[in-house]
Amino acid sequence: MILCIAEKPSVARDIAKVLGATASRNGYMEGNGYCVTWTFGHLCTLKEPHDYNPNLKYWNLSTLPIIPQKFGIKLIPNKGVEKQFETIEKLVQECDEVINCGDAGQEGEVIQRWVLQKAGCNKPMKRLWISSLTEDSIKEGFANLKPAEDYMNLYLAGNARAVGDWLLGINATRLFTKKFGGGKAVLSIGRVQTPTLAMIVQRQKEINAFNTEDYWELKTKYREVIFNAAIDRLNSVERAEKGLEYLKQHPFEIVSFEIKEGKEKNPRLFDLTALQVEANKKYGYSAENTLKHIQSLYEKKHVTYPRVDTTYLSENLHPKMNGILQKMNFYQDLVAPLLQKPIQKSKAVFDDTKVTDHHAIIPTEIPPSSSLNIEEKYIYDLVARRFIAVFYPECKISNTLVEGQVGTIPFKANGKQILEPGWREVYAKDKKEESEENKEEEQTIPEFNVGESGPHEPLIHQGKTTPPKYFTEATLLRAMETAGKQVEDEELREMMKNNGIGRPSTRANIIETLFRRKYIEKKRKNLVATSTGMELIDTIEDELLKSPELTGEWEFKLRKIESGEYEANQFKEELIKMVWELTQKVIRGQGKTIELHEEKPEEKKEKIPRKKSEILWEETDCPKCKSNKLIKGKTAIGCTDFKNCGFKVPFEIFGKKLTEKQIQDLILKGKTSKLKGFKLHPENLEEGVLSLGDGCEMELN
């Protein structure tokens, strides 16, 4: 028997269907010589300090640093996890071979290997490595299974990352909490979290220290074009008025007129960070929510694997492009021009040297149905339009520069005209909205002749200097990607990714952690450091803990472990040395206690009587994990430990709104009576009995 282990029940079902393992069992599916089981994401975690020594449960400076001789793993304490692990452990002992079908990335490799290690697996092991969950992709993956040894370095890098985060997080958090927490505040320190906070704090200090000043500029209007004086800003109104009088005494003269034709390169395909940046800028979505929506689209087979950090495609994907474009039903008007001739194999899109484990995020040949929620539709639209845009011609533009002079004062005016929109056609609607927003800044530049002159209308513009801009999630993600350096050029940014802080898949969680710790808060779209966050960074004197550049160097070493160019043990030893030195330095040093600055509590609101149904769910065991209760949310009934368990029943399923009684029957009895009115079932079923499968997934039969 061959055992396949996927990372989620839904993925396991997709794989089982392809393999012909159609018989449902308790915690797995079976058939055709295969057993297909699953984890719920992380089933195992690194042991905690008290697992090595019960006395380490208590935080004390005298016990630091905590350096286990050998790091161990343990099951996450959860009844559902323990039950599923028992199933996996039994199947591992009975099987002849294991196929690791975890998510094809560093975290997925660690999740599966820890579980197999805990289960005592010594069976031959292979690796399924796919970039989408379509049936064709799964079949192709099983036809090209890889030896598990090929991914050992990937595991070693992921394991080193986890060990490094444990070493620094556990020790530094206890160290600073006991030294500066005053017995009340837990001061959380992390390898990526702390330098990210340091960037926000530094920006906050620059903003707080900024003194706004007035300034004056000379402008003039000639032939309906506004020209700006090419001189330094004036720091007094008197100087500005004196300049205005001077301008009134002289005519305006054209001294240079130049038009240069150029091209605007196509945008690059999305990696995860670029997608999160775009979704935040356009829709205000948090990085965490964008990741959730694109992951959902991946599991629904509409896009390829999303946790990637490249904007290129493998060269062997080139023949598949036409097939994907032909299936993009909602974008036929945009796709039609591309299908009239072969897709060019441009190095800006297809480059094997820029692709490692995965390629950029693109649509699959399975178009979405109308059952997507609005957020998923918007995220899919971003991916789809970017995919189409990279195959369009470049945008041709003309840049106009006009230089003039009034007496001895030089003036300039710039203008840009789109000659052939090219890829901008894909974003025609967005461009129209953008033009409406910026119409005051745009002006049409007519043709001028060098030497012409005439009357003009000089004026004074008064302005104020502005402080640096607050980070938004979009700009913070970019700063994390480039270790704090401001980089606009896409090619240069691509080169710097190896030294960014954090991984694309973890940056969203880092930002959310800073919110949970109350180190930062959001004001509109701006990220603002709280007083607690600022005090914490001020207390940390060691640059190793808060420097984005140095943290980027650690990240670079982790990537070298992944490629086999660096030893995982050496990385661990370097961190141990750093933790020892940091501990001694902080214990001997001085500093003031940091207080947690809580928000003022809101006035007590009158208690609203609760419905019996809301109380019912709090008394009901989750049918999936069996160890937690249920809770009623705005759109669904779900497990209180949804992050690990994943169980929920939406109020609307396959386009039909369910009554309270129908949801109760489904959860408490495992199925409903026969229902009608389903509108969005993938197989166009309009009636049937809703039931919970073995993995507690909804089925309509």
Catalytically active residues, by annotation: 305
Count of residues in the chain:
701
Strand ranges in 421-496 using DSSP code E only, listed in sequence order: 453-454, 457-464
Spatial separation of the C-alpha atoms in residues 553 and 559, rounded to whole Å: 10
Say if residues 646 and 299 touch (Cβ distance below 8 Å): no
Spatial separation of the C-alpha atoms in residues 248 and 467, rounded to whole Å: 34
Helix, strand, coil share of the chain (percent; to 5):
45, 20, 35
Spatial separation of the C-alpha atoms in residues 521 and 534, rounded to whole Å: 12
Q: How many CB atoms lie within 10 A of CB 9?
A: 24
Closest CA to 306 of 314, 315, 316, 296: 296
Q: In what order do the strands lie in the sheet with 146-147?
A: 23-25, 28-31, 34-38, 2-6, 97-101, 125-127, 146-147
Rg from Cα positions in the chain: 30
Instruction: Give burial (CB, 10 Å; 0-12/13-18/19+) of 539.
Output: middle
Spatial separation of the C-alpha atoms in residues 14 and 550, rounded to whole Å: 42
- For 106, 170, 274, the CA distances from 478, given in Å and listed in that order, are 21, 28, 8
- For 286, 489, 614, 636, the CA distances from 660, given in Å and listed in that order, are 32, 54, 11, 11
Structural tokens at position 376? 């998923």
Q: How many CB atoms lie within 10 A of CB 391?
A: 19
Spatial separation of the C-alpha atoms in residues 147 and 19, rounded to whole Å: 19
Structural tokens at position 242? 């004196």
Measured between its terminal Cα atoms, the distance across the chain in Å is: 30
Torsion angle (degrees, nearest 10) of CA 191, 195, 196, 199? 180
Torsion angle (degrees, nearest 10) of CA 531, 536, 540, 545? -110
Spatial separation of the C-alpha atoms in residues 161 and 5, rounded to whole Å: 23
- For 82, 624, 641, the CA distances from 78, given in Å and listed in that order, are 6, 12, 10
Structural tokens at position 76? 């996450």
